[in-house]
């Protein structure tokens, strides 16, 4: 049974070829093959049609065809370098705060590799690389953790104690 949520192109092709082998063996119905491989019945029928239309090609008829389109502007190694720089933080990359924004990431890529990307493309690419938006915790610069801890230990219990009237359950009427 094929369980991953998202398959690579190689895994998709491997599943298609396995479907072709099962179709050629002829022991299972199309529905059984679809259930076993986790695909739709329509996909299995399409594979059967491809095998039938190209009998001399055999399972090669189900192989992936070269993908057309513009080649990526950053190689896989360069993209790993971008992700490494992101993990180090925006301060290390020369920004005034440690918060990454899409525009900052775009500027980083432009500086390092001379490649310009649209921020929306970067958002999708980062999401595909398991990089999620990081929302920093907003804290006052003047915040003093020691004072907060001491207040919570001394003052908060005193404030939380109920008055004698509250302890009895008396209600105040206006």
Domain hosting 41: range is 9-62
Q: What is the pLDDT of residue 36?
A: 93
**Same domain, yes or no: 124 and 81:** yes
Q: Would 54 be classed as within a structural domain?
A: yes
Q: Do 25 and 56 sit in the same domain of this protein?
A: yes
Number of domains in the chain: 2
Nearest to 107 by CA among 97, 120, 118: 118
The pLDDT tens digits along the chain (174 residues) read 556 677 888 899 999 999 999 999 999 999 999 999 999 999 999 999 999 999 888 888 899 888 788 888 999 899 999 999 999 989 999 999 888 889 999 999 999 999 999 988 899 889 888 887 666 677 788 888 899 999 999 888 888 876 666 666 666 555
pLDDT of the residue at 3 = 60
CB-based contact 48:20 (threshold 8 Å): no
Q: Quick check: is 138 in a domain?
A: no
Q: Are residues 58 and 14 in the same domain?
A: yes
Q: Is residue 25 part of a domain?
A: yes
Q: Is residue 45 domain-resident?
A: yes
pLDDT of residue 46: 95
Per DSSP, the residues of 50-78 read: HHHH-TTTGGGGGSPPPPPSPPPSS-HHH
Position 168 in a domain: no
């Amino acid at each position: 049974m094929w369980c991953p949520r998202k398959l690579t192109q190689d895994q998709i092709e491997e599943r298609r070829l396995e479907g072709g082998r099962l179709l050629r063996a002829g022991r299972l119905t199309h529905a059984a093959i679809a259930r076993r491989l986790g695909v739709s019945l329509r996909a299995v029928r399409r594979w059967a049609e491809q095998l039938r239309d190209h009998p001399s090609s055999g399972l090669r008829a189900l192989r992936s065809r070269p993908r057309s389109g513009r080649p990526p502007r950053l190689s896989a190694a360069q993209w790993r370098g971008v992700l490494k720089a992101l993990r180090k933080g925006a301060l290390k990359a020369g920004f005034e705060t440690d918060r990454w924004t899409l525009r900052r990431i775009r500027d980083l890529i432009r500086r390092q590799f001379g490649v310009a990307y649209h921020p929306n493309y970067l958002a999708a690419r980062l999401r595909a690389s398991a990089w999620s938006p990081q929302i920093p915790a907003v804290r006052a610069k003047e915040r003093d953790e020691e004072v907060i801890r001491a207040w919570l230990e001394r003052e908060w219990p005193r404030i939380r104690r109920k008055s004698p009237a509250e302890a009895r359950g008396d209600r105040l009427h206006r």
